[in-house]
């Protein structure tokens, strides 16, 4: 086995403690206010994971030097945490190598973890191998003060609009994207609405004969 293969990581400290169905300050009306959950980041898993999972990890480690920050195997799904500097090289290897052949990028999505200092933004890529009928998840992080990742559009053209949506909603900048503009919000919109620190507010929504007030002006059932 290659010396580039990952090893299990030391358990990470909790990110936060959430109370209720939706967390603090959400106007929770679900009736589950007594729920208390500790949120912890994933930690590395120890191989072996199963036949093709181990083959993919070993082959990628042969093709790319130090491609993993950690590997997480959970509920039968494999997630490879990739350094952002290695992302372009990793996706090309995953697409082009005959033993891997992950030809399709099915989705790109963002996540915001304000408490993860230095890795506040995570971007998740779901890849599909039509040749081998396999699915794989990549996860890459970047800091809030430098929210840049390399675009994968040159390798996976279908990621174009997905990267635009992640930029629009989270503000992650995909370098070398051919046209990184808003796709859901108006061009002159200020901010990125799916960030956890985005203010809960809005504008009235008008219907025929009725108006729905902004979120922060609706009735609180507490």
Q: In this predicted model, what pLDDT tens digit does every residue of 103-123 receive, in sequence order?
A: 999 999 999 999 889 999 999
How far, in Å, CA of 211 to CA of 114, rounded?
A: 34
The model's confidence at residue 208, banded by pLDDT at 50, 70 and 90, is confident
pLDDT at 27 over 60: no
Tell me what pLDDT residue 2 has: 46
Query: Are 195 and 112 spatial neighbours (Cβ–Cβ below 8 Å)?
Result: yes
**Highest mean pLDDT (candidates 15-19, 28-32, 129-133, 216-220):** 129-133
The model's confidence at residue 79, banded by pLDDT at 50, 70 and 90, is very high
Tell me what pLDDT residue 222 has: 47
Give the mean pLDDT of 186-197. 90
Architecture of domain 44-217: 2-Layer Sandwich (3.30)
Q: Name which residue leads in pLDDT, 189 or 20.
A: 189
**What residue spans define the domains of the chain?**
44-217
Exposed, middle or buried, 23 (CB in 10 Å: 0-12/13-18/19+)?
middle
Give the mean pLDDT of 155-174. 98
pLDDT at 93 over 50: yes
In the numeric block, the tokens 């033993």 are attached to 99
Q: Which tokens sit at 70?
A: 């950690």
In the numeric block, the tokens 């609009």 are attached to 161
What mean pLDDT, rounded, does the chain reach? 86
**Is residue 56 within a helix (H) or strand (E), and if so which, with residue range?**
helix 51-63
The model's confidence at residue 127, banded by pLDDT at 50, 70 and 90, is very high
The model's confidence at residue 175, banded by pLDDT at 50, 70 and 90, is very high
Tell me what pLDDT residue 186 has: 87
For residue 37, the tally of other CB atoms under 10 A from its CB is: 13
Tell me what pLDDT residue 32 has: 63
Tell me what pLDDT residue 11 has: 47
How far, in Å, CA of 185 to CA of 104, rounded?
A: 27
- β-strands 121-129, 104-112 pairing: antiparallel
Q: Which tokens sit at 28?
A: 């929770």
């Amino acid at each position: 086995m290659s010396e580039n293969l990952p090893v299990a990581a030391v358990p990470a400290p909790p990110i936060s403690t959430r109370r209720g169905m939706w967390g603090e300050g959400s106007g929770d009306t679900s009736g589950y206010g007594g729920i208390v959950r500790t949120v912890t980041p994933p930690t590395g898993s120890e191989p072996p994971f199963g036949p093709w999972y181990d083959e993919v990890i070993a082959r990628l480690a042969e093709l790319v030097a130090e491609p993993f920050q950690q590997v997480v195997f959970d509920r039968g799904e494999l997630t490879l945490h990739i350094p952002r500097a290695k992302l372009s090289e990793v996706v090309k290897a995953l697409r082009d190598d005959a033993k891997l052949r992950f030809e399709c990028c099915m989705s790109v999505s963002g996540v915001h973890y304000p408490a993860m200092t230095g890795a506040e933004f995570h971007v998740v890529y779901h890849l599909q191998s039509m040749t081998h009928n396999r699915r794989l998840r990549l996860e890459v992080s970047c800091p809030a003060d430098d929210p840049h990742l390399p675009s994968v559009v040159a390798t996976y053209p279908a990621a174009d609009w997905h990267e635009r949506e992640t930029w629009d909603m989270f503000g992650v900048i995909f370098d070398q994207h051919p046209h990184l503009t808003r796709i859901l919000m108006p061009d002159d919109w200020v901010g990125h609405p799916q960030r956890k620190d985005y203010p809960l507010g809005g504008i009235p929504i008008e219907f025929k004969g009725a108006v729905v007030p902004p979120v922060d002006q609706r009735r609180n059932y507490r």
